[in-house]
Homo-oligomer: A and B are copies of this chain.
């Protein structure tokens, strides 16, 4: 089912040519939904078409977002592709393992996406924060420069290998995972409440503390319902002591 195929998200892509090649790689393996976050040279980009070699349907339907938050808002699971695992306290998987999870998630009506960073620098740590899982292609330790289209082709290829397989049902259903938009809303509420109570001190450590909180809640795998519960908890805890005495 198309609506459950993974989305390919190119974060701040640089060359139109590479966007075209990524589209071709996607379509070779049956993926059609591309999202572009702040493409450097704007969109549409005349360099993309020729290198897509006929995968125009992917480029024509590509959606553009200003921020990564918006681009992943409706997804339940996001894989951040990196050349090597970073110190992010997130599970690290291979393309094969990612494909397996994506199919399992799709069977529960939960949609996934792959994030790929800019050609030169890869994903920033702030981008990776929004991911549940880091996807790393195991490459030659002496030569790790995998280009964007190659990384996309491997992710799409592994997904396609499992795409005829029907998931096994009957395992106890978990509630649907929270969407990224729900998680982001929760993060903002929590950080705002903590700012008001001056939790982050010294202030220079705020960023590191926020990162570690976000990673922690991200990896907990809470459902939408649980995120709602947590929002209620934060709201209660942070209200003034006398607010219910009126």
Contact = CB atoms under 8 A, between A and B. Distances in A.
Contacts of A30: 140
A120 interface: no
Given A150-B150, A154-B157, A194-B233, A169 B141 contact: yes
Interface residues of A, number: 71
A54 B24 contact: no
Contact of A140 (B89, B144, B166, B226): B166
Contacts of A236: 194, 197-199
Contact of A150 (B28, B88, B136, B165): B28
A220 B177 CA distance: 12
Copies of this chain present in the complex amount to: 2
A171 B138 contact: no
A124 interface: no
Contact of A27 (B143, B190, B198): B143
Contacts of A246: none
A240 interface: yes
Contacts of A244: 197-198
Interface string A5-46: 000000000000000000011011110000000000000000
A168 B28 contact: no
Given A198-B244, A199-B237, 10 more contacts: A25-B150, A28-B150, A85-B172, A96-B161, A140-B166, A149-B150, A197-B239, A219-B220, A237-B237, A240-B241
